A and B are shown apart, each in its own frame.
Chain A
Amino acid sequence: TQLLEQSPQFLSIQEGENLTVYCNSSSVFSSLQWYRQEPGEGPVLLVTVVTGGEVKKLKRLTFQFGDARKDSSLHITAAQPGDTGLYLCAGVETSGSRLTFGEGTQLTVNP
């Protein structure tokens, strides 16, 4: 079973600060996805990265896939209270169609 480790598990910052969340694995995934989940809701897909070294930007969010396709990072610039939520990375396994999720990073942005 492939595992994904996310860090940090909890992050509490002030509005306007920058932050980075990391997602690491010892195994290669065919692609990696980042989700955001709010209380009482299911995860919502933010981005999919496929190619090693790929960088994608979504407004103030920057996603990067490692060259070896084993790790990824999410960087948020000038965080806002609306960014508060649980951020999950998920790997798509090369052998099947299941998603393997990390433990999540609970982000709180204080006004």
Chain B
Amino acid sequence: DTAVSQTPKYLVTQMGNDKSIKCEQNLGHDTMYWYKQDSKKFLKIMFSYNNKELIINETVPNRFSPKSPDKAHLNLHINSLELGDSAVYFCASSLSWDYETDTQYFGPGTRLTVL
């Protein structure tokens, strides 16, 4: 059974389009995250949700809007896609958000290419 799953795995789209990435975890974790990995492989947190509530919102353009319908799901909607949005987006989850001992488990990633 996949612990953290993301769909789609690949997303190719034109500039200006709106797209969504879905994430689901079956680990029973309370906290979910979105990370962006750029072309140089640098990994940076974008958002963190705990029990459907937003707890971390890094400096991310407001074209990016996360939504958590329940604690097992965290979706990422991106409006008006730009070339610079091309990256790999990872979803992750952990048992809690406020314990530094909790391991984050990652989904397989979604490779977004904006043409």
Q: Do A and B bind each other?
A: no
Question: Which positions in A face B, CB cutoff 8 Å?
Answer: none
B interface, CB within 8 angstroms of A: none
